[in-house]
Amino acid sequence: MTIKNVLQKIIRLYLSPVKSARYVGVKLGNNTFIADKHHWPSEAYLITIGNDCAITEGVKLYTHGGGRMMRQKYPDFYSFGKISIGNHVYIGASSQIMPGVTIEDNVLIASSSVVTKSVPSGVVVGGNPARIICTIDDYIKRNIKYNTHTKGQSKEEKRKVLEKLPDNAFIKKKEMIYES
């Protein structure tokens, strides 16, 4: 490891996750939350993230991959894909975004999703590979009844509210159905 690489790693340790992203070249909009100091790809400058986004814990964004397999036949092979993330996008924990993907505005990506194709505006996607689950409007209609109105409260205040709520005030998933 070169002295330059060591110095860069040290500098990144002391930067916030947002400043760390900007330092490595990610183009960031305003009011975007990044949960942790990502291990950004070496071509982080190929990533653009819009305004009011949330990149949660453990999300990975890839700008290249698979080149090693091609180099047996094409020794100088290397291919890249830009990643573009629009405004008001939430990317759930441990999701992976593949090279060349565009995620348009107002999108929710469920945790642990693998996004291999571009995503249109106004939808919820999830799975491996990620698929459209519903629209954002449908998601809101299904979940608004679970709003606890605790955003901005302290941990103690929120705990008091949540411990007093009846079971039907919490999200509960239905049982899976076997389809043959």
Residue range 85-110, pLDDT digits in tens: 999 999 999 999 999 999 999 999 99
DSSP code for 64:
B
Cβ 100 vs Cβ 82: under 8 Å: yes
What is this structure's pTM? 0.86
Mean pLDDT of the chain: 92
Cβ 34 vs Cβ 70: under 8 Å: no
pLDDT in tens, 70-86: 888 998 988 999 999 99
Q: Does residue 64 have an active-site annotation?
A: yes
* pLDDT score of 38: 66
Question: Which is the catalytic residue, given 38, 64, 88, 149?
Answer: 64
Cβ 99 vs Cβ 63: under 8 Å: yes
Show the low-confidence residues of the chain (pLDDT under 70): 12, 38
pLDDT in tens, 39-48: 788 899 999 9
